[in-house]
């Protein structure tokens, strides 16, 4: 559950996730730093390190494309300070007959109101990889 009095960076993250869930990648592009570095654990086609806004948004486009726009993230718990946000969330999506419904850990770093660094760490990496492969 997300607390009632939210840290500003948690509020920013919730706006990013809302835009992601609504397939509004243009809105996300406005909320991330041009030099963002984002890492996704695993071996699948979306795993890897993305450098810069262009690569990051292209990765999100690939996630949406491969999942037919079904991939969503629902927050469960957030912890934050002035720079970092840790979140536990449920990721859901579908690819043909494959369904994903697992928890992910996320670590985000914000600077000057923008997302500058992030990491997606699926709790069940085997299920995550199986879904994307």
Has residue 55 been placed in a domain?
yes
Has residue 1 been placed in a domain?
no
Task: Determine the pLDDT at residue 4.
Answer: 58
CATH assignment at residue 101 = 3.10.450.50
Mean pLDDT of 64-83: 96
Range of the domain at 41: 8-132
Has residue 66 been placed in a domain?
yes
Has residue 2 been placed in a domain?
no
What is the tally of structural domains in the chain? 1
Has residue 3 been placed in a domain?
no
What is the DSSP pairing of strand 114-122 with strand 32-40?
parallel
Cα–Cα distance list, 130 to 49, 66, 88, 127 (Å): 19, 13, 21, 5
Has residue 68 been placed in a domain?
yes
Has residue 78 been placed in a domain?
yes
d(Cα 23, Cα 97) in Å, to the nearest integer? 21
- Three-state SS at 36: strand
pLDDT of 67 strictly over 90: yes
pTM of the full predicted structure? 0.91
pLDDT digits (tens, 9 = 90+) for 96-131: 999 999 999 999 999 999 999 999 999 999 999 999
Inter-residue contact 102 to 122 (CB < 8 Å) = yes
Has residue 85 been placed in a domain?
yes
């Amino acid at each position: 559950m997300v607390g009632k009095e939210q840290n500003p960076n948690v509020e920013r993250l919730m706006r990013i996730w809302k835009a992601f869930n609504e397939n509004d990648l243009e809105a996300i592009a406005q909320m991330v730093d041009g030099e963002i570095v984002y890492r996704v654990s695993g071996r699948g086609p979306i795993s890897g390190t993305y450098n810069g806004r262009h690569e990051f948004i292209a990765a999100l486009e690939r996630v949406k494309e491969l999942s037919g726009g079904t991939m969503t993230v629902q927050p469960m718990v957030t912890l934050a300070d002035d720079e970092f946000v840790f979140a536990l969330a449920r990721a859901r999506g579908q690819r043909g007959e494959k369904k994903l419904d697992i928890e992910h850990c996320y670590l985000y770093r914000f600077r000057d109101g923008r997302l500058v660094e992030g990491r997606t760490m699926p709790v069940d990496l085997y299920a995550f990889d199986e879904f994307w492969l």
